[in-house]
């Protein structure tokens, strides 16, 4: 029903099938689109920004050239090749030869039954175990390449023939105009062409490891040898929009995307012989030469004895001494060496698999023993990539010392499970009874554009939007609601889906949002005008230095009164902020409110003055539980750990020290 669609003239249609033809490989993505203006990029693809591509353009000019927007599936190695690959080793080949010769000699000596098969069977069992472990590990490694497909979008909102359509993301082609908004997974590499909101922010941590979202813009950049971070006008496939709406033109699909380049780099990785494999190959070669030399020498030395009457003739004598030479060769082969090596590597591989490590081949386990430096990404590797509020600072009272109160919050995931503790580490039974915590919950729920939801398939809580804003939503759930003595236990009776945002929905239903001032780089803050029971209140959040500079009053936690913000209190709050950001390495936000004239329906930047300070929240991207012991293990083994991060230098040093101690 077109009338029910939020888009004007929207209709759903599928891409016409392209005629079968043999074309050369797809042209590469427009790699310098970031350095060109919007008009130049659109002209290069021959697309009208108001109409998009026509069906004929898609079929004739693009679909047949570029193919589908999907990462091509790697041609899996046939099972029989994987099996044969496990026997492509000199020592293994020598061992196979030894087993065969051992069996033949046993038969020639008249041995029958189990005796003839015993030694060859043991050898072949060892080789079969070696092959089985190798095939399993390599199969698991190949599956890991396909995990990149999980980052691909399913559908996209595309402008074609002058109207918007919802199409499978696989049917996008370079030149398509695509619209994205909050929560959208970017379906292809795209160049920004139009901003539909005040700003657009994208979470591209999967590419750059940045824990903060990145602001995108329309202007071209002149950076030389630009990396992903420099391409501020490019939306990369697989990243997620966390704020704003915009339109962009597709410049690369499938393998010609940033995600595709990662996959190609993984496939181009050449197998390099490990030090152990090199030593074993050298030993095998040396052993093969020595054994061959001994066999020939023994056989040649005994040529004069070939005619001995006891052998029954020259030919029988030659065969007899050949059997002697072969027996010496078999005796010289260390049958136990491959077995011991394989067993040790298999045990190492199994142990690493339990720790979710992917091992492509058994000998690569040995390289860990030669490691002297480990370079690790920080965000999402050493940390959980889930922001959470860990500390809150509020003003207690201006009439007694200490002026401020500090609370700590447990829980380091997006799950709304955790408790609030005071400075004496006593758990607060009813946090909403504290005026400042109550107003912090209100501001965090209302001055927020993110969403927290429960995913029953993954059995975990997930975010849509900025990580910092989702952390505030989780804080709201931990604070709870006022007026109910049974609130903590009552919340636990909800389903996980209801519990995800129950308290947030309560405040959103209590207040009616009227107007929003989006975050901007110059102001470093965001404000929202809300109405409740004939009262208009503006809630603000942002960088502490920006918010506190606009505050003239503070909210007291003892009695909920509002008093003037003196220089002494300001200095105390500044000291707390520096402690949070410096010593504790927390990302800080300040929250404030302001009563507005009754009936006001809009906000301006001038309204962000004479605010009442509510509190300061400090949040972190917590390290994983196992990081502490892992770093100590590396240091104990003499391995240098290098953390690759885009953090501020001082912030990074503080985090690394905290991870290490």
Please state at what angle helix 502-510 crosses helix 467-479, rounded to 10 degrees: 90
Helix then strand count (H, E) for the chain reads: 20, 23
Determine whether 89 is an active site residue: no
Cβ neighbours of residue 155 under 8 Å, at least 6 residues apart? Answer: 166, 167, 168, 169, 187
pLDDT digits (tens, 9 = 90+) for 448-493: 989 999 989 888 998 888 889 999 999 999 999 887 655 666 777 8
Is residue 401 domain-shared with residue 257, that is, in the same domain? no
Which residue, of 602, 620, 638, is where some domain finishes?
Answer: 620
Residue 67 lies in a domain: no
Residue 68 lies in a domain: no
Residue 98 lies in a domain: no
pLDDT digits (tens, 9 = 90+) for 62-94: 656 777 777 766 566 677 777 777 777 776 777
Which residue, of 268, 283, 316, is where some domain finishes?
Answer: 268
Which residue, of 253, 268, 283, is where some domain finishes?
Answer: 268
Cβ neighbours of residue 630 under 8 Å, at least 6 residues apart? Answer: none
Q: Which of 281, 377, 422, 518 is catalytic?
A: 377
Residue 478 lies in a domain: yes
Distance, in Å, from the CA atom of 167 to the CA atom of 63, rounded to the nearest integer, reads 14
Whole-number pLDDT of residue 391: 95
Distance, in Å, from the CA atom of 186 to the CA atom of 250, rounded to the nearest integer, reads 10
How many structural domains is the chain composed of? 2
- For 469, the token pair is 């804003």
Whole-number pLDDT of residue 184: 87
The domain that contains 497 carries what CATH number?
Answer: 3.40.1110.10
In this prediction the pTM is 0.63
Residue 176 lies in a domain: yes
Whole-number pLDDT of residue 359: 64
* 585: alpha, beta or left? (left if phi > 0; alpha if psi -120 to 50): left
Distance, in Å, from the CA atom of 162 to the CA atom of 540, rounded to the nearest integer, reads 40
Is residue 431 domain-shared with residue 566, that is, in the same domain? yes
Whole-number pLDDT of residue 545: 93
Is residue 403 domain-shared with residue 256, that is, in the same domain? no
* Exposure on the CB side of residue 560, measured as CA atoms within 13 A: 8
Residue 609 lies in a domain: yes
Distance, in Å, from the CA atom of 547 to the CA atom of 526, rounded to the nearest integer, reads 10
Distance, in Å, from the CA atom of 59 to the CA atom of 210, rounded to the nearest integer, reads 38
Cβ neighbours of residue 571 under 8 Å, at least 6 residues apart? Answer: none
Q: What are phi and psi of 484, to 5 degrees?
A: -130, 110
Residue 566 lies in a domain: yes
Distance, in Å, from the CA atom of 524 to the CA atom of 589, rounded to the nearest integer, reads 10
Query: Residue 471: which domain range?
Result: 388-620
Beta strands in 493-610 (DSSP E): 512-517, 525-532, 535-542, 551-555, 562-564, 587-596
Beta strands in 410-505 (DSSP E): 420-421, 451-455, 460-464
The domain that contains 180 carries what CATH number?
Answer: 2.70.150.10
Q: What are phi and psi of 516, to 5 degrees?
A: -130, 135
Whole-number pLDDT of residue 270: 61
Whole-number pLDDT of residue 222: 78
Whole-number pLDDT of residue 397: 87
Mean pLDDT by 10 residues, the chain (661 residues): 34 37 47 88 89 85 70 67 74 73 69 67 74 68 54 81 89 91 89 89 80 85 81 91 91 86 68 70 81 83 80 76 74 67 69 67 67 83 86 90 91 91 91 94 94 89 88 94 68 87 93 90 90 93 95 94 93 92 88 94 93 95 84 89 68 50 48
Whole-number pLDDT of residue 20: 38
Residue 139 lies in a domain: no
């Amino acid at each position: 029903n077109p009338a029910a669609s939020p888009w004007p003239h929207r209709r759903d249609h599928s891409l016409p099938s392209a005629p079968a033809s043999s074309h050369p490989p797809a042209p590469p993505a427009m790699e310098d689109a970031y350095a060109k203006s919007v008009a130049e990029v659109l002209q290069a693809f021959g697309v009208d920004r108001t109409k998009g591509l026509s069906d004929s353009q898609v079929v004739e000019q693009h679909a047949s050239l570029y193919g589908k927007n999907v990462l091509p599936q790697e041609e899996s190695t046939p099972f029989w090749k994987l099996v044969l690959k496990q026997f492509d080793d000199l020592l293994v080949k020598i061992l196979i030869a030894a087993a065969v010769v051992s069996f033949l000699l046993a038969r020639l000596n008249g041995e029958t039954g189990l005796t003839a098969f015993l030694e060859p069977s043991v050898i072949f069992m060892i080789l079969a175990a070696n092959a089985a472990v190798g095939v399993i590990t390599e199969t698991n490694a190949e599956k890991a390449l396909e995990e990149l497909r999980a980052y691909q979008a399913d559908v996209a909102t595309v402008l074609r023939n002058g109207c918007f359509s919802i199409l499978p993301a696989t049917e996008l082609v370079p030149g398509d105009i695509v619209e994205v908004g909050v929560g959208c997974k970017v379906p292809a590499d795209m160049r920004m062409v139009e901003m539909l909101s005040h700003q657009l922010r994208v979470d591209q941590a999967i590419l750059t490891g940045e824990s903060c979202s990145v602001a995108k813009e329309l202007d071209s950049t002149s950076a030389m040898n630009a990396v992903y971070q420099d391409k501020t006008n490019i939306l990369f496939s697989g990243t997620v929009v966390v704020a704003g709406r915009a339109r962009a033109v597709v410049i690369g699909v499938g393998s010609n995307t940033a995600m595709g380049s990662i996959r190609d780099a993984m496939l181009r990785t050449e197998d390099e012989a490990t030090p152990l494999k090199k030593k074993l190959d050298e030993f095998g070669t040396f052993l093969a030469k020595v054994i061959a030399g001994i066999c020939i020498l023994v056989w040649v030395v005994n040529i004069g004895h070939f005619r001995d009457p006891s052998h029954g003739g020259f030919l029988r004598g030659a065969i007899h001494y050949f059997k002697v030479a072969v027996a010496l060769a078999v005796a010289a082969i260390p049958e136990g060496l491959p077995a011991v090596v394989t067993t040790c590597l298999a045990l190492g591989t199994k142990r690493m698999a339990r720790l979710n490590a992917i091992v492509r081949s058994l000998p690569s386990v040995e390289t860990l023993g030669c490691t002297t430096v480990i370079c690790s990404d920080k965000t999402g590797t050493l940390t959980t990539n889930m922001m959470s509020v860990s500390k809150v600072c509020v003003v207690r009272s201006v009439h007694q010392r200490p002026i401020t109160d500090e609370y700590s919050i447990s829980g380091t995931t997006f799950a709304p499970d955790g408790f609030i503790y005071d400075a004496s580490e006593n758990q607060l039974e009813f946090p909403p009874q504290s005026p400042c915590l109550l107003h912090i919950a209100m501001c965090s729920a209302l001055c927020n554009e993110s969403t927290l939801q429960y995913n029953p398939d993954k059995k975990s809580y997930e975010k849509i939007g900025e990580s910092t804003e989702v952390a505030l939503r989780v804080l709201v759930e931990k604070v709870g609601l006022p007026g109910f003595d049974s609130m903590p236990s009552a919340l636990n009776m909800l389903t996980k889906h209801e519990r995800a945002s129950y308290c947030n929905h309560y405040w959103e239903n209590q207040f009616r949002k009227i107007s929003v001032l989006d975050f901007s780089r110059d102001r470093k803050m965001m404000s929202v005008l809300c109405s409740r029971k004939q009262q208009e209140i503006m809630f603000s959040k942002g960088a502490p230095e920006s918010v506190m500079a606009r505050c003239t009053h503070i909210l007291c936690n003892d009695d909920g009164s509002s008093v003037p913000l003196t220089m002494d209190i300001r200095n105390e709050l500044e000291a707390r902020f520096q402690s949070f950001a410096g010593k504790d390495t927390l990302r800080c936000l300040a929250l404030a409110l302001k009563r507005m004239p009754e009936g006001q329906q809009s906000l301006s930047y001038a309204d962000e003055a004479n605010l009442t300070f509510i509190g300061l929240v400090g949040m972190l991207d917590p390290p994983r539980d196992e990081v502490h012991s892992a770093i100590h293990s590396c240091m104990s083994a003499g391995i240098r750990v290098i953390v690759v991060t885009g953090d501020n230098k001082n912030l990074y040093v503080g985090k690394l020290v905290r991870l290490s101690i």
